[in-house]
Chains A and B, each alone.
Chain A
Amino acid sequence: MKINENLAISESGFLFNPSTGESFTVNPIGAEIIEKLKVGKSEEEILNELHDTYEIDKKSLQKDLLDFNQILKQYQLLEQDEETSN
């Protein structure tokens, strides 16, 4: 799974997808996840890094990350990998 690399996130949390013209608003931790996805971090890495930073148990965090991923997919901000989509 790959994040759309052209996504532009401003400091205020305004997210613009140039390939679809859609705009979104994202909270700081959401923006942080997207930035991590952009530099190619795996879900496992993101989970561990966030767990080290934030006051939250791992199970809840994992559940929220899964949910966030689904949202990214729903809005077509995440692209399926070529191999897996076949």
Chain B
Amino acid sequence: MEKKRYERPHLVKLDTGMPSKAGLRGDSPATTRIDGVQVKELIAKFGSPLFVMSEQTIRSTYQKAFKAFSTRYPKVQFAWSYKTNYLPAVCNVFHQEGSWAEVVSGFEYDKALANGIDPGKIIFNGPGKSAEELKKAAENGSLIHIDHLDELYLLTDLAGEMKRKPLVAIRVNMDTGIYPMWDRFGFNYENGQAWDALNKIMLAGKLELVGLHTHIGTFIMSATPYAVAASKLADLALGLQQKFNHNIRYIDMGGGFASKNTLKGSYLPGADTNPSFDDYAEAITTALVNSGFKPESLPLLILETGRALIDEAGYIITSVIANKRLSTGRRATVIDAGVNLLFTSFWYEHPVTPAQGFSQYREENTLYGPLCMNIDCVRDSINLPLLNKGDSLVIHYTGAYNLTQWMQFITLRPNVVMIDREGNTHLIRESESVNVISGLEKTPDYLKHVK
């Protein structure tokens, strides 16, 4: 006789406040496939945990964003924010779509060059560029965004020895009505620092001022601050026009658009409340179009959107290691992906769905990662079906920052695959081996023996 499908015995007290199974109908259906590929198959082939990037989602998200801006403004250019996800395969999907590169370190700069992007299409941001890095970028004709006066002086000095005039912009910080105000990067608008820096550049004549840049913050949940920021940059640009008869080529609005993720402590899910590309585009382009630029001298609008372009394209497939019950009677599940791989779970309530069918019974659960570390908690509280050891889960919206900020803490990092538009799976970063880590370690002779 064939045996019946097993489900753990489950009993839960009915509280009036507790949503019944009906109340949750429609909530988190199983994710048995990603872009048509079976999750089960992915695990069998590449192991668990596993990072999965969807090429289709990257491209369609990019196209949606580009369309939102390009239908409202004549000259639009995106620059892919490397720090958000700098796997070459991912970067090159963006480059194929037409994105430039936006880098914030020499390491990222070299990665962009290695990806084959034209150096003239690399924007070099960040507060920590070395003299060598500045020199290399300047001679390559990359766009250098100056962060502070020390960098301005250094670059002005270096310019003397160069054959080519460095192409520069300054980063401007400002009050856009949001809290906290990011004032540690760039030159302040309100107190005149920014205008002062622009005057220094123009009067010294060693650098070619091509743009103005701002980056007002991260995960900005309202479009209005961008309108304020765009007007303030436009003011600076018009000031330059008036005083020096100098037209800048571009205004770079940075990034900071929110993805669909839900910030911890939010009542409503981010997918409902966070502004759309259209909302951001409307705010920014309206401010620019309504500013004092003559129609023929409207600057190129550059956007360094990272998170909102990639978060939804990333998944982590993970498996249940163990089920436990905490001292309070609360159910806890240990999974094989923790905060080492999912750094962003410190801020977001990532959606988590089961990767196989399930009955209507659910329980409140705490999801812990596998690390021997108390803060390794992926979700404090989530309603999930009754999971057995070995079952799989899919964690959503994980494409941004996790593949650059992940930690090599007590274990090795897993495979990363990309599913292309035909449903083929490609390994885009191999799982680490002990040698990758230990090979760099050196032990002095006298410490080689423990006896």
Q: How far is the CA of A33 from the CA of B11 in the complex (A)?
A: 11
Are the C-beta atoms of A23 and B9 separated by less than 8 Å?
no
* Contact (Cβ within 8 A) A68 B9: yes
Residues of chain B at interface, number, CB under 8 A: 21
A-B contact list, 20 entries, CB within 8 Å = A24-B11, A24-B12, A24-B13, A25-B12, A25-B14, A26-B12, A27-B10, A27-B359, A29-B10, A30-B9, A53-B3, A53-B4, A54-B4, A54-B5, A55-B6, A60-B389, A65-B9, A67-B325, A68-B10, A77-B11
Q: How far is the CB of B277 from chain A (nearest CB, A)?
A: 43
The smallest C-beta distance from B5 to any residue of chain A, in angstroms, reads 6
Interface residues of B in 159-182 (CB under 8 A from A): none
Count chain A CB atoms within 10 A of each CB in B8, B12, B325 and give the residue with the most.
B8
Apart from A24-B12, A26-B12, A75-B13, 20 more pairs, CB < 8 Å: A24-B11, A24-B13, A25-B14, A25-B361, A26-B10, A27-B7, A27-B9, A27-B10, A27-B386, A29-B6, A30-B10, A54-B3, A55-B3, A55-B4, A55-B6, A60-B389, A64-B9, A67-B325, A70-B329, A74-B329
**Contacting residues, chain A, for B4 (C-beta < 8 A):** 53-55
Count of A-B contacts judged by CB separation below 8 Å: 70
Contact A23 B388 (CB under 8 A): no
Chain B contacts for A74, CB-based, 8 A: 329
A11 contacts B by Cβ under 8 Å: no
A65 nearest CB neighbor, chain B only: B9
The reply to whether B6 and A56 form a contact with Cβ atoms under 8 Å apart is yes
List residues of A whose CB falls within 8 A of some B CB: 14-15, 22-30, 33, 52-56, 60-61, 64-65, 67-68, 70-72, 74-75, 77
The 6 closest A-B pairs by CB, nearest first: A30-B9, A56-B6, A54-B6, A68-B9, A55-B3, A23-B14
Please list the residues of chain B having a beta carbon within 8 angstroms of any beta carbon in chain A.
3-14, 20, 323, 325, 329, 359, 361, 386, 388-389
**Could you tell me the distance in whole angstroms from the C-beta of A6 to the nearest C-beta in chain B?**
16
Chain A residue with Cβ nearest B325: A67
Contact B389 A55 (CB under 8 A): no
Q: How many angstroms between the C-alpha atoms of A28 and B4 in the bound complex?
A: 12
Q: Nearest A residue to B324 by beta-carbon distance?
A: A67
Q: Considering the chains assembled together, what is the distance between the CA atoms of A28 and B6 in angstroms?
A: 10
A10 → B minimal CB distance (Å):
13
By beta carbon, the residue of chain B nearest A66 is B325
Q: Say whether B325 contacts A70, CB under 8 Å.
A: yes
Cβ contacts under 8 Å, B325 to chain A: 67, 70
